[in-house]
A and B are shown apart, each in its own frame.
Chain A
């Protein structure tokens, strides 16, 4: 079992076997490329926040329609899932067996799925009270902002399933490891975006 402090660890969780300098360079650009993608994706959310901000004044407003309770529970689930994904990365870094990685990945999946279930039921509840995206521009921007995040989480869940399947087929080979690192970046990124949504949309809405 490799220790944390070993110098050859370039990225947390990447113990690429038999790595040549060329493979490490390859890895650098693979992970860096994903960071660049996240920057572009962050801009997408920034623009949706801006649109939401300009449409706040519409009626019916999102502030008057959403409920803070489910959003608070969703927050807990997602923040916890970020922690459990951290455990995936640590398991990789410490060179633990595949089943530990799979276990933490499974826990992350369940928490993420719980988030989606809560969010969907919250949305359905709002729909039942007439707060639909068609009702006003303010609600359109609310549902698109929060829903885009939800779609991202859903694609993250699909990604987790794919990674689990690939781990079952190939074990922890280099490509699986690289993609687990990227998935981790993606998952934590979604957490950061959710923190912004919870603060800007929900908490600010309580004050309004």
Chain B
């Protein structure tokens, strides 16, 4: 039946044997049962979510308030939700990989080599493209327009499209868990291994299209953020009055605009090889895989700064706020951020020192790499000096920030080792490298994003997160990180290759056991974050801080109610100082009604972004399985949806001045009734979000 022409026409190259459940039924091994179990969990999870929403009758609410919303704050929150779902999967994969290596010293362990390869590929792909990128896009989306005093981003519809393209890519990775398999070529997917000649299955195709969707999403998202910051700043918000997080958002956006096209080109040329029989990266026909490697890292290296700069921005905001001091040497932080952004394009070759270029070339890129340590070092000192003699409160975001400062320096030192070509020859492609980049990305991106999420959570939802669970989470994440990755430095320096499914030296066993313990701590840390949300929602009455400024912060986003109204500011603020809100509080300008309210024009909801995302997901699924009718049909759906939208003219709706004024005055009345609290009472139920700013 699987081979009939009608079947092939309708279902492409799909056969029943592609389902992990069928494979597990025919060949029940631990590895295939894990795959089948994961598929069943994914399907049941989806069914459970659908069932729950239907049971609660929340479809209409989700559709009209969230899915079709063009509000940058809601889109930001949806990005973060996407990231959390994907993070849970990638963490489980990390734990299983550690378990496998712990069990597989002179024994096959539980995962077959092929299955293990899928694990490290999906883990890397998900963590970079569907956890870190959505997290930073989400936080920038939420906070940046508020920080610059804008009503929304420059292109609200493009913003929604970016979100749904990311969702489409993530969906494709999740579908690969249930139907077929994912690539085994690592997150960087080097050809010729990922070419048809060696890898004819659907795995690399899933990888190609998931990345293509994600890179298109990031390109338009970066464009949108950059234009917003260039053109939509509130009156008086000059460049040197931009909050630090917005500066990092700007640099990240510019990197996205220029670093994403190389990835799009790399994946699409690989697709041209696989689908059209071309010879870009093949072994034969004059293909050159070095082109792929260069293109990939031309994206890949700026990418790590795309991931890290927004976290630097978060740390700047968090450290300044929870030390109750202005940032130490703002100007040098700005210069350092821009310097990192520029230098990030000059170092991509350090990802392949060993691939045969002349020593002079390696030396150039090694030195350029080390240069990046200078502006980064400047930043570390800035944060330390900001804390110095400040009124430091060890809240959860602050704990993550301090852990970052220490841990990131350790990672930077191992980076200097790797940046030295002769040393790199010794440790490249070993667990030393794995330890190094986790040492940069976990504190540098994940800790930053978690800190940012905890910092801005009360702004988004009107109540604070419970501190206790946050502190427990910080403790578990930091301990877990050191236990999981310090042993990998040792193992890597002892010569253990990365991505090994089985190891053969019993002396490695203790280190692997410690690393396994570490990953368990990290999983527990993730659990603590989930419990934190759970218990905070339960106690939301006690934690409520609707006035909007629970930490006595300095930037503009805290001058709005929590959660902020759709239009952010009843009237656009006039900026006179770097610490805009802080100055207003000092001079009594905060919490004043506007002299006059005007009608506000906001973008109306649109389902078009959602249609785009789902249709392109369908199109890519068709391409993966060679179901051509499906690919063409869904591509046409995208095209028609875009054309229909281009003919619409009712894209805005007006919020009348009277409504704006009523909302603003109601909030001001609450402000007048609220009790200002000192920093000592920050974590107590008394904190309604009105800060007693002079203590």
Known contacts A36-B226, A136-B285; A29/B154 CB under 8 A = yes
Given contacts A28-B231, A29-B231, A170-B649, contact A36 B223 (CB under 8 A): yes
Q: Which of B259-267, B480-488, B577-585 contacts A (4 or more CB under 8 A)?
A: B259-267
Q: Is the CB of A166 within 8 A of B227?
A: no
> Which residue of chain A has its CB nearest to the CB of B278?
A140
For the residues of A in contact with B, the DSSP-based class is helix
The stretch of B286-294, B558-566, B605-613 that contacts the partner chain: B286-294
1/0 per residue, CB under 8 A from A, across B468-493: the answer is 00000000000000000000000000
- Return chain B residues, CB-CB under 8 Å to A101: none
Whether, in the assembled complex, B360 has its beta carbon less than 8 Å from a beta carbon of chain A, the answer is no
A36-B265 contact in complex given A55-B288, A137-B287, A140-B272, C-beta closer than 8 Å: no
Interfacial chain B residues near A118, Cβ < 8 Å: none
Contacts A51-B291, A140-B279, A144-B278 given; indicate if A40 touches B265 (C-beta within 8 A): no
One of A41-49, A65-73, A90-98, A195-203 at the interface: A41-49
Residue of A nearest to B292 (CB): A51
Residues A33 and B285 in contact in the complex (CB < 8 Å), given A43-B258, A175-B649? no
Once the chains bind, are A136 and B223 in contact (CB under 8 Å)?
no
Q: At the interface, yes or no: A1 with Cβ under 8 Å from chain B? A: no
Q: Which of A29, A36, A58, A166 contacts B257 (CB 8 A)?
A: A36
User: What is the chain A residue whose CB lies nearest that of B224?
Assistant: A33
Chain A residues within 8 Å of B232, by CB: 29
- Note all chain B residues with C-beta closer than 8 A to A28: 231
If A43-B258, A54-B291, A144-B272 touch, whether A162 touches B231 (CB-CB below 8 Å) is no
Cβ of B166 under 8 Å from chain A? no
Nearest CB in chain A: distance from B442 CB, A: 30
A138 within 8 A of partner (CB): yes
- Rounded to whole angstroms, the CA-CA distance of A25 and B601 in the bound complex is 14
Shortest Cβ gap from B136 to chain A (Å): 19
Known contacts: A51-B269, A169-B647. The answer to whether A32 contacts B279 by CB under 8 A is no
Interface hits, B264-307 → A, CB 8 Å: 264-265, 269, 272-273, 276-280, 282, 285-288, 291, 295, 298
Residues A15-63 near B (CB distance < 8 A) = 25, 28-30, 32-33, 36-37, 39-41, 43-44, 47-48, 51, 54-55, 57-59
Kindly list chain B residues whose C-beta atoms are within 8 Å of the C-beta of A175.
649
Q: Are A48 and B278 in contact (CB under 8 A)?
A: no
Q: B227–A162 contact, CB under 8 A?
A: no
Residue B355 CB within 8 A of the other chain: no
Q: B286 and A134: CB pair below 8 A? A: no
A residues 118-133 near B (Cβ < 8 Å) are 133
Q: Is the beta-carbon distance between B219 and A40 smaller than 8 angstroms?
A: yes
Cβ–Cβ contact B223 & A59, under 8 A: no
Interface string of B520-545 (1 = CB under 8 A from A): 00000000000000000000000000
Taking a contact as CB atoms under 8 Å apart, the answer to whether B223 and A47 are in contact is: no
State whether B265 touches A134 (Cβ < 8 A). Answer: no
Q: Does residue B505 face the partner (Cβ distance < 8 Å to A)?
A: no
| A141→B281 CA distance, assembly (Å) | 11
Residues of A within 8 A of B227 (CB): 29, 32-33, 36
Query: B279 near A134 (CB under 8 angstroms)?
Result: yes
**Complex alpha-carbon distance, A120 and B480, angstroms:** 59
Using an 8 Å CB-CB cutoff, how does the interface string of B201-236 with A read, 1 for contact, 0 for none?
Answer: 000000000000000000100011011101110000
**CB nearest to A174 among chain B residues:** B649
| 8 Å CB contact of B230 from A32, A40, A179 | A32
Indicate whether B155 reaches chain A with its CB closer than 8 angstroms.
yes
**What's the Cα separation between A57 and B278 when bound, in Å?**
16
CA distance A28 to B262 in the complex (A): 28
Given A29-B227, A36-B226, A169-B647, is A137 in contact with B285 using a C-beta cutoff of 8 Å?
Answer: yes
The CA-CA distance from A171 to B404 in the complex, in Å, is: 57
Name the B residues within 8 Å of A51 (CB-CB): 265, 269, 280, 291, 295
Among B223, B224, B265, which residue has its beta carbon within 8 angstroms of that of A44? B265
Q: How far is the CA of A54 from the CA of B292 in the complex (A)?
A: 12
Q: Give complex CA distance A166, B264 in Å.
A: 32
Chain B residues, Cβ within 8 Å of A173: 649
CA distance A30 to B232 in the complex (A): 11
* Chain B nearest Cβ from A46, distance in angstroms: 9
Contact residue among B155, B224, B262, B272 (Cβ-Cβ distance under 8 Å from A47): B262
A208 CB, nearest partner CB in chain B, Å: 16
Cα separation A90 to B80 with both chains bound (whole Å): 47
Q: Judge whether B286 and A138 touch: CB under 8 Å.
A: yes
- Taken together as a complex, chains A and B put the C-alpha atoms of A16 and B265 apart, in Å, by 38
A40 with B257: CB separation less than 8 A:
yes
* Contact present for A136 and B295 (CB under 8 Å): no
Complexed CA–CA distance, A59 and B230 (Å) = 48
* Interface membership of B646, Cβ < 8 A: yes
The chain A residues found within 8 Å of chain B, CB to CB, are 25, 28-30, 32-33, 36-37, 39-41, 43-44, 47-48, 51, 54-55, 57-59, 133-138, 140-141, 143-144, 162, 165-166, 169-170, 173, 175, 179
Q: Lowest 8 A-B CB distances belong to which pairs? A: A58-B286, A137-B286, A140-B278, A29-B231, A137-B279, A134-B277, A33-B227, A43-B261
Besides the known contacts A43-B261, A166-B647, 6 further A-B residue pairs in the complex with CB atoms under 8 A apart? A44-B264, A54-B288, A140-B272, A140-B273, A144-B278, A173-B649
19 contacts between A and B (CB under 8 A): A29-B228, A29-B231, A32-B231, A36-B223, A36-B226, A36-B227, A39-B258, A40-B260, A47-B262, A47-B265, A48-B265, A55-B286, A133-B272, A134-B285, A137-B285, A137-B286, A143-B278, A166-B646, A169-B647
